[in-house]
Amino acid sequence: MEYHEEIMRKVSLLREQEHVRILSLETSCDETAAAVVEDGRRILANVVFSQIDLHALYGGVVPEIASRAHVEACDRVVDEALRQAGMELGDVDALAVTCGPGLVGALLTGVSCMKGLAFALRKPLIPVNHIEGHISANFLTHSDLKPPFLCLVVSGGHSHLVKVPDYGVYELVGQTVDDAAGEAFDKAARVLGLPYPGGPRIDELAEEGNPEFLHLPRPHVSGYDYSFSGMKTAFLNAVNKMEMKGGPLPKADLAASFRHAVVSFLVDNAVRAAGDLHAGVMAMAGGVSANRLLRREMQKACDASGLLLYMPQVSLCTDNGAMIGSAAYYQLMKNEVATLELNAEPSLRLL
Ligand code: KG4
Ligand code: ZN
């Protein structure tokens, strides 16, 4: 039987099976992560090997270092995930891997690793969009969450407001016209001399600062779009001026002011869109959804507008393998599996 025919026959059997357990691998940036997820909802194992220490020295992710570190870590995280799940490779029903967007070399290591495994095991391989993975992290935390909902996707590379009318279906409501929210946090952190990755550092420092210390202008954008480069420049100019005057920088106040400006913009737009589009349910996804103020303010605003809010647990907001395994399950149910031609797609879009 042709290889792909054999795989598709296995896929149709899996769709009838009571439980489906997927082994997933995520290597799109600086985390080598593997997981085993059952039925898209239940985490049996979730292993994240962070490369932060390797990149911190350079103040950001160095693509070549990331690829090499993924090559070394892939086998280890997969073995560890299987060990935690109490399973062997043969027990896995299907495999999943992030195929984009991300760093091409980093993606390629994961794609090659899982293609090799899938071929050797003659099991279906599901290619997953990284952003779709982030959105699916909500399904792992909330067993009752089902589409339709509106989702604010805020990561290091993306800021989107999307409608999710069904599993794996997305409609664009708004997006950033320049920087992503995470990128803006990272740049502001760098201006304050905070080490990489800056988002979580700003968030921590901001807890002790005064958000009213510095007023940052809200950009004029149309519809439900976002823009962060103006805020970032205003912040940089204000910090430069203070530095020229001498004396210590009030870093906590500056961090709190920047965080407040970004968060109130994110929340106001998303809640306004939900009202206009008559959405009853809001979700959040991506690394920035771990931000403490964003979580508090979004909850307050949703409560005030009668919106139900879902957010992934904090550990599932940033890159992990489990979110890829969740998204993969819903793709498998729609026969969306890869051929051996699968390649990394660094600029893959969500929609
Ligand atoms: O989703 P993610 O892990 O990777 C991408 O797909 O980009 O997001 C990483 C981004 C980084 O920019 C990081 O600074 C930001 O998320 N981030 C945060 C927080 N935790 C992570 N930004 C603000 N506050 C946080 N607590
Ligand atoms: Zn991510």
Ordered alpha helix ranges (H), 17-103: 52-56, 63-85
Q: How many CB atoms lie within 10 A of CB 241?
A: 9
pLDDT tier for residue 59 given thresholds of 50, 70 and 90: confident
Q: What is the pairing mode between strands 169-175 and 125-129?
A: unpaired
Shortest-distance atom of ligand 1 to CA 157: 7
Q: How many CB atoms lie within 10 A of CB 177?
A: 14
Q: How many CB atoms lie within 10 A of CB 194?
A: 20
Residues 108-150 have pLDDT tens digits of: 999 999 999 999 999 999 999 999 999 999 999 999 999 999 9
| CA pseudo-torsion sign 122, 123, 127, 131 | negative
Exposure of 13 by Cβ count < 10 A (0-12 exposed, 13-18 middle, 19+ buried)?
exposed
| Domains of the chain in sequence order | 3-137+318-332 (3.30.420.40), 145-313 (3.30.420.40)
Residue 200 Cβ contacting ligand 1 at under 6 Å? yes
User: Mean of the pLDDT values across residues 239-247?
Assistant: 95
Relative to the alpha carbon of 156, which ligand is closest?
A: 1
Residues 191-232 have pLDDT tens digits of: 999 998 899 999 999 999 999 999 999 999 999 999 999 999
How distant is the alpha carbon of residue 265 from its chain centre? 20
Angstrom distance (rounded) from CA 252 to CA 192: 10
Residue 31 Cβ contacting ligand 1 at under 6 Å? no
Residue 198 Cβ contacting ligand 1 at under 6 Å? yes
Query: Which residues, listed in sequence order, are joined to residue 151 by a DSSP beta bridge?
Result: 162, 283
pLDDT of 231 = 96
Relative to the alpha carbon of 285, which ligand is closest?
A: 1
User: Mean of the pLDDT values across residues 303-321?
Assistant: 98
pLDDT of 299 = 98
Please name the residue that has the structure tokens 């502001």: 188
Triad 191, 197, 201: Cα angle to 5°: 70
- The pLDDT > 70 percentage for the chain reads 100
The first and second tokens of residue 291, run together, are: 């931000």
Residues 142-173 have pLDDT tens digits of: 999 999 999 999 999 999 999 999 999 999 99
Residue 133 Cβ contacting ligand 1 at under 6 Å? no
pLDDT, the chain, mean: 97
Contact 21, 87 (CB under 8 A): yes
pLDDT of 1 = 64
